[in-house]
Amino acid sequence: MLRPMFTFGCTLVLAACAVHMPAVPMHRFLDGDLDAVAAAMRNEQANGSAENSALVLNILAQCELFLGDAEAAWRDFGAAGRIMGNWQTSGGEAAGAIVGSESSKTWKGDPYEKAMNAFYLGLAFLWRGEPDNARASLKHGILADAEVGDEKFQADNPLLFWLAGRMSTLMGKGDDADDFFKEARTANTFAMQHGSRGDASGAVLGRPDDGNLVLLVECGIAPAKVAHGDLDELARFESRWHPADRARITLDGRVLGETVVLADLDYQARTLGGTEMEGIRKGKAVFKKASLIGGVALLNIASRDRGDSARTNAIVGGGLILLGLLTSTAADVRHWPTLPATVQALTTNVTPGAHLLEIEFLDVAGRAVPELHQTWPIDVPAASQTYYLFRSLPGLDRQAAARAATVGTGRTEVHP
Amino acid sequence: MFHQRPARSVLLGLLVLATSACAGTIDRRVDPDSPDEVGGAVLQSQDIRTMAQNMARDLASSGLLTSTANNQTVTFHIIGMENQSSDVINREIIITKLETELFKALGGGRIRVLDRSAVGLDAVKREREAKRSGAVAGNEGKRGNVLGSDYVLYGVIRDRVQQGGKLKSAYYDVTFTLTDLETDQKVWQNDYETKFLSEKSVISR
């Protein structure tokens, strides 16, 4: 009786190397101090858990992207994507996560996080002048998005389909583009019918191939993954408040309009569906409760008994309590905390040359949030398309201007 | 009966196991032709090497790049690859490997591989202009025209990915085509195929 129990305990201890969420200085991120966040992530990469590598690389790459180093971002999003896209898992790692702590496993992200990695990597490839690899990444994201538990929600990310369509056009594949645009409209309609925000007016998806200037704007902050249940065995998402709801774009003093939502990460996270691990954790929670109750009951009997019987009950009861305490039921709540709540877009046709772009981030009531206001000088080339990505964080334009004054412009744009 | 000595041994064992479970990084050199243990169901080093070797061998045995009617040296360039798959890939690694294998298979003296990349052409143009203007010294014996290309070689990566439940399959087809630049005729074509099947673990997220 005792030896098998100890063997089981041994396995539990073997698998008990739980990995926690990397220390991301979120207040710094929300203040727009991306240099500090990047430094923290480099430190995590050097000294933190290898199991968090993809998560750390994604956050670092995001900082690099918004700091104007698109090449470094391409490298790090690519490295993270290779970990996230790999289904292969060793038997030991799977056993460790099932028997011991679930968070002992390598972080690969939920489908919406994989889709966002694919989105960023796609843009990074586009900015390198490789629309075919950009499309490959977006297609990879579409497949990753289809990994959700509930089949109903397996192809509902209009952003990826729309961008894959535009990349197809750049590759000269009009038929493919039409198919992707059709899928984008279907995904948008479906997602909106199920509570997502989307392009209701067809401002972007109604004329998906239009515009030589494509502005992608990230607003808000993505939901946090938190543990619920008596023994933290359930993973749930909680929305996080942020003042930026959408953006109003002005070009050379002329208001172009407001951006429309093409990816709603609150909705994407909410519709993930269940996983097999959730069932396993629930089973472990039942076992843990039963072991602790049984152990206490046996110790109680032992305290009122004498002789060999009392000793046996005490040892078995103690063993059960030990097993109960060693059984980890907590859900793995590691998540990508620096993602936006929504990715929005606005496309327009502008005359080639230099322009001044102003972005006013608006709250839910439509009031401008002055501290998030950004002004960017942009250059639109002739006979080409330009893609820009912005984020509702304070001071990114001022940081970029200061950087450009010392090291030259490194702003993210493409002229494929 | 639970004795003190076995209990100590078990506890010691637990400690050793717990320590070994958090072991550090191990690096070792492996054969690039061996199957990749990391997995990922994507084109791997083994595929790139086999593909380049097969294509170079087949192209060499076709005789297209070595036999001309008037015994002239054949010139050709590789235009690049288009990735139509859902796997991002460094196309340069495939192209460069193929070029290396072609040099090995055909011999540098029997064919001329031209650099038609934007970077290469620009470098040639700038250097020639500098030499002609006298800004830099040039070797008169090496003066000549930029060579025209007889053939162009290009490749396309396509895939077919299917996903259902816990299973995913990925079929890759990489096609290479040699086109005669005088006649626009496809004179040679070959492909490399591979397929992966993946089964999702319970901890795939």
pLDDT tens figures, A195-205: 999 999 999 99
CB contact under 8 A, B198 and A133: no
Enumerate the H helices of A128-202 as residue ranges. 131-145, 158-170, 174-193
Q: How confident is the model at residue A148 (pLDDT cuts 50, 70, 90)?
A: low
Distance from CA of B165 to the nearest CA of A (A): 8
Check CB contact of A179 with chain B, cutoff 8 Å.
Answer: no
Q: Which residue from B80, B68, B75, B77 is spatially nearest to B152, judged by alpha carbons? A: B77
Rounded average pLDDT over A189-195: 93
Alpha helices in A15-157 (DSSP H): 26-30, 34-47, 53-66, 70-84, 91-99, 111-127, 131-145
| Residue of chain B whose alpha carbon sits nearest to that of A110 | B205
Q: Dump pLDDT digits (tens) for A347-371.
A: 999 999 999 999 999 999 999 999 9
Percent of chain B with pLDDT over 90: 25
CB contact under 8 A, A94 and B161: no
CB B20 within 8 A of CB A92: no
For testing the chain B interface, which of A3, A20, A88 should be mutated: the one with the most B CBs within 10 Å?
Answer: A88
Q: Which residues of A touch B203 (CB under 8 A)?
A: 89, 93-94, 97-98, 102, 105, 277
Chain B contact for A86 (CB, 8 A cutoff): yes
Per-residue pLDDT of B107-165, as tens digits, reads 766 677 777 766 666 777 777 777 777 777 777 666 667 677 888 899 999 999 988 77
Distances (CA, A) of B68 to A270, B65, B74: 66, 8, 7
- Interface contact B140, partner A, CB < 8 A: no
Closest Cα partner for A183 from A168, A197, A201? A168
**Which residue would you say has higher pLDDT here, A14 or B186?**
B186
Phi, psi for B112 (deg, rounded to 5): -125, 120
| C-alpha to C-alpha distance for B198 and A347, rounded to whole angstroms | 39
A138-150 as b/e: b if 16+ CB within 10 A: bbbbbbbbbbbbe
Rounded to the nearest angstrom, the minimum Cα separation between A129 and chain B is 13
- Split into its structural domains, chain B has a count of 1
Is the Cβ of B9 closer than 8 Å to some Cβ of chain A? no
Check if A305 contacts B (Cβ < 8 Å): no
Domain that holds residue B142: 41-199
pLDDT value at residue A411:
43
Find chain B residues with C-beta within 8 A of A108's C-beta: 204-205
Residue B6 lies in a domain: no
Residue B142 belongs to some domain of the structure: yes
B118 CB within 8 Å of a chain A CB: no
- Write down how long chain B is: 205
Nearest residue to B156 (alpha-carbon basis) of B193, B114, B198? B193
Q: How far is CA B184 from the centre of its chain?
A: 26
Dihedral angle, C-alpha B84, B87, B92, B94, nearest 10 °: -90
Contact call for B86 and A139, based on CB within 8 A: yes
**Minimal Cβ distance to B18: which of A14, A102, A315:** A14
Please check whether residue B85 lies inside any domain of the structure: yes
Residue B87 lies in a domain: yes
Alpha carbon of A386: minimum distance to chain B alpha carbons (Å): 21
Do A57 and A76 contact (CB within 8 A), yes or no? yes
pLDDT digits (tens, 9 = 90+) for B17-59: 555 555 566 788 888 888 877 777 788 899 999 999 999 999 8
B156 touches chain A (CB under 8 A): no
When pLDDT is cut at 50, 70 and 90, the band that residue B172 belongs to is: very high
Is A89 in the B-facing interface, judged by CB distances under 8 Å? Answer: yes
Token pair, residue A194, equals 């199920």
pLDDT one-digit tens code per residue, A218-270: 999 999 999 888 777 778 899 999 999 999 999 999 999 999 999 999 999 98
Statement: residue A14 has pLDDT above 60:
no
CA–CA min distance A380, chain B (Å): 22
Could you tell me how many CB contacts below 8 A there are between chain A and chain B?
A: 105
Nearest Cα of chain B lies from the Cα of A261 at a distance, in angstroms, of 25
CB A344 within 8 A of CB A262: yes
pLDDT at res. B2: 43
Any idea what the Cα angle at residue B12 is, between residues B11 and B15, rounded to 5°?
90
Q: What's A152's DSSP letter? A: G
Tokens read off for A195: 């509570």
Contact (CB<8Å) B204/A87: yes
Q: CATH no. for residue B173?
A: 3.40.50
Contact A136 B86 (CB under 8 A): yes
Phi, psi at B204, each rounded to 5°: -75, -10
Q: Is residue B93, in this structure, part of any structural domain at all?
A: yes
pLDDT at A54: 96
Give dist(CA A327, CA A284) in Å, integer: 7
Class of the CATH domain delimited by A2-277+332-407: mainly alpha
Segment 91-150 of chain A within 8 Å of chain B by CB? 93-94, 96-98, 102, 105, 108-111, 121, 125, 132-133, 135-137, 139-140, 142-143, 146-147
Q: Please give the mean pLDDT across all residues of chain A.
A: 86
In chain A, what is the straight-line distance between the N-terminal and C-terminal CA atoms, in Å?
A: 70
- List pLDDT tens digits, range A22-36: 999 999 999 999 999
% of chain A beyond a pLDDT of 70: 85
Cβ of A276 and B202 within 8 Å?
yes
Q: Dihedrals φ, ψ of A114, to 5°? A: -65, -40
Please give the structure tokens belonging to residue A58: 């994604």
Among A86, A133, A135, the residue with its CB nearest the CB of B38 is: A86
Contacts of residue A192, defined as CB under 8 A and 6 or more positions apart, other chains included, come to A198, A200
How far apart CA B129 and CA B124 sit, in angstroms, is 8
Half-sphere exposure of B143 (CA within 13 A, CB side): 9
Q: Does A348 touch chain B (CB under 8 A)?
A: no
Summarised one tens digit per residue, pLDDT across range A103-141 is 677 899 999 999 999 999 999 999 999 999 999 999 999
Q: Is A249 exposed, middle or buried (0-12, 13-18, 19+ CB in 10 A)?
A: buried
Q: Does B79 touch chain A (CB under 8 A)?
A: no
Higher per-residue confidence, A414 vs B102 = B102
| SS3 state of residue B169 | strand
The residue whose two tokens read 């509902």 is A156
Which tokens go with B16? 């050793």
B29 lies in some domain: no
Is residue A45 within 8 A of residue A57, CB to CB? The reply is yes
In terms of pLDDT, which residue wins out, A291 or A259? A259
Query: What is the arrangement of strands in the sheet containing B186-199, beginning at the earlier edge strand?
Result: B111-114, B74-83, B151-164, B167-180, B186-199
Q: What's the token pair of residue B107?
A: 């011999």
Query: Chain A residues with CB inside 8 Å of B2's CB?
Result: 2, 315
Using the structure block, give the residue that is written with the tokens 């080639």.
A352
A181 and A189 Cβ atoms separated by less than 8 Å: no
* Domain spans, chain A: 2-277+332-407
Spell out the long-range contacts of B7-10 with Cβ–Cβ below 8 A and sequence spacing 24 or more: B10/A6, B10/A10
Provide the pLDDT for residue A274: 59
Q: Round to whole Å and give the CA distance between A176 and A167.
A: 10
Residues A318-332: what's their mean pLDDT? Answer: 80
SS3 B184: coil
| Residue A318 touches chain B, beta carbons under 8 Å | no
Instruction: Kindly provide the ipTM of the predicted complex, given to two decimals.
Output: 0.72
Count of Cβ atoms closer than 10 Å to residue A112 Cβ: 29
